[in-house]
């Protein structure tokens, strides 16, 4: 196998872009970031040590088809979904959009179809607003080696009542990078509920680099939920970025259920007056993995609201780090920034951190934080075990109650049920190894 140094990445990236019939602007962006990314710094997150991870050890990009029959191992439930996109590696398996929504101008398709069919629209928003391609080494690497993803656009005044669902499955039956970009744009006074799922099929060690941009125009409202379940062999960088205009609202609900090492860059900019973001994160770590989650909400506009709620559980020798950063900039009068990060430890060998950071540059505001790292309440355990419940089941009941404070805040029942099932799986596997 060729080493990274032996690969002519410029020729390979150009050939990949040409094979995908990409517009000139995207090919130029790829080549610019390919030359630039080695010179850029890695993003820094307090107490998250990931710098030695192989997050930029790229394989030669090439259009590769994946065998969709391998997805049977995941038992994906999308048969009845009206609006759904399923991709496996670089292969689009299924794409459906309600004809009534399409008639109203809604677009939901894979990223390569989008850049071919709607090049000007995609170019307007792709890494121009929520995050820039040269923000750091990992975002530039992402722009250079992008090989999958999706584009969702909701026009002005359109209300999408049925949820939009995306399933993005990493093909680790072979060596193949998983570099996905999801771009969600909700135009003025629109509403949409979008749910995405990430998972892995196969056992090869691969990297994942996922960038999600959510752009909400004036008075738009986006409900965004995600369940991430990358495999133990996946080392990942997950970046979710939001940009909100006047009176826009974005409700994030994310379950970090990965089994491998993952660093998460979660950022929302409240740019417009009256913008409002609710960020809810649930995480469970097991084995020897590290999940480092850096969640930031920045209040730029006046009378903006940014709330962060993070609860996590750690088992075995794993590590979980929550950074919560609330920043109210000068001029953001009348704004509110609140955060709560709590970690529950089920092992004496595990490591947990909950780091609250408030940066307040304005006087006329409200702000607060809460953070804790602790073990299972022994009084609760004693109460449950005194009624005939064995220790492992008692622990899981206590954990359900702990995470339930966040889960009940997630409006979509389907997402709550999926997260609950995934949490049960991780807890059961973790407890078997104790």
Reported as a single tens digit per residue, the pLDDT across 315-349 is 999 999 999 999 999 999 999 999 999 999 988 89
Span 227-242, pLDDT tens digits: 999 999 999 999 999 9
The residue extents of the domains of the chain are 4-272
Mean pLDDT, rounded, for 379-397: 80
The interaxial angle of helices 137-145 and 24-36, nearest 10 deg, is 140
For β-strands 366-375 and 336-345, DSSP reports them as parallel
Q: Which range (49-53, 117-121, 290-294, 407-411) has the least confidence?
A: 407-411
192-245: pLDDT as tens digits: 999 999 999 999 999 999 999 999 999 999 999 999 999 999 999 999 999 999
- Please name the residue ranges forming H helices in 330-412: 378-385, 391-407
Residues of the chain by 3-state class (helix, strand, coil), percent to 5? 25, 40, 35
Residue 248 or residue 397, greater confidence: 248
Q: Are 269 and 410 in contact (CB under 8 A)?
A: no
DSSP code per residue over 13-31 = HHHHHHHTT--HHHHHHHH
């Amino acid at each position: 196998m060729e080493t990274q140094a032996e690969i002519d990445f410029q020729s390979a990236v150009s050939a990949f872009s040409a094979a995908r019939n990409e517009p000139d602007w995207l090919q130029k962006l790829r080549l610019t970031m390919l030359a630039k990314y080695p010179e850029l710094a890695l993003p820094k997150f307090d107490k998250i040590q990931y710098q030695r991870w192989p997050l930029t050890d790229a394989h030669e990009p090439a259009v590769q088809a994946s065998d969709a029959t391998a997805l049977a191992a995941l038992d994906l439930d999308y048969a009845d979904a009206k609006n759904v996109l399923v991709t496996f590696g670089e292969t689009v398996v299924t794409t459906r959009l309600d004809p009534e929504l399409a008639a109203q101008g809604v677009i939901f398709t894979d990223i390569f179809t989008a850049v071919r069919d709607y090049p000007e629209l995609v170019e307007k928003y792709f890494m121009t607003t929520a995050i820039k391609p040269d923000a750091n080494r990992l975002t530039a690497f992402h722009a250079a080696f992008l090989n999958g993803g999706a584009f969702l656009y909701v026009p002005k005044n359109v209300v999408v009542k049925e949820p939009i669902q995306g399933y993005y499955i990493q093909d680790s039956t072979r060596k193949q990078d998983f570099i996905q970009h999801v771009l969600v744009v909700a135009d003025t006074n629109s509403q949409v509920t979008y749910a995405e799922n990430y998972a892995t099929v196969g056992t090869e060690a691969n990297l994942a680099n996922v960038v999600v941009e959510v752009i909400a125009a004036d008075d738009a409202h986006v409900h965004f939920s995600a369940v991430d379940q990358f495999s133990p062999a996946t080392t990942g960088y997950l970046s979710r970025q939001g940009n909100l205009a006047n009176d826009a609202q974005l409700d994030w609900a994310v379950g970090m259920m990965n089994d491998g090492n993952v660093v998460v860059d979660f950022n929302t900019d409240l740019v417009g007056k009256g913008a409002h973001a609710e960020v809810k994160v649930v995480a469970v770590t097991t084995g020897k993995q590290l999940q480092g989650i850096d969640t930031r909400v920045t209040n730029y506009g006046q009378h903006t609201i940014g709330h962060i709620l993070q609860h996590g559980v750690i088992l075995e020798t794993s590590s979980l780090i929550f950074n919560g950063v609330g920043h109210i900039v000068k001029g953001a009068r009348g704004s509110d920034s609140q955060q709560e990060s709590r970690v529950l430890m089920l092992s004496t060998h595990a490591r947990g951190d909950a780091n609250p950071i408030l940066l307040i540059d304005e006087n006329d505001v409200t702000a607060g934080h809460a953070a804790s790292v602790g073990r299972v309440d022994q009084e609760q355990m004693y109460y449950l075990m005194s009624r005939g419940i064995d220790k492992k089941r008692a622990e899981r009941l206590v954990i359900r109650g702990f995470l339930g404070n966040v889960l009940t805040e997630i409006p979509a029942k389907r997402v709550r049920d999926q997260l609950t099932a995934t949490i049960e799986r991780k807890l059961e596997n973790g407890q078997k190894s104790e």
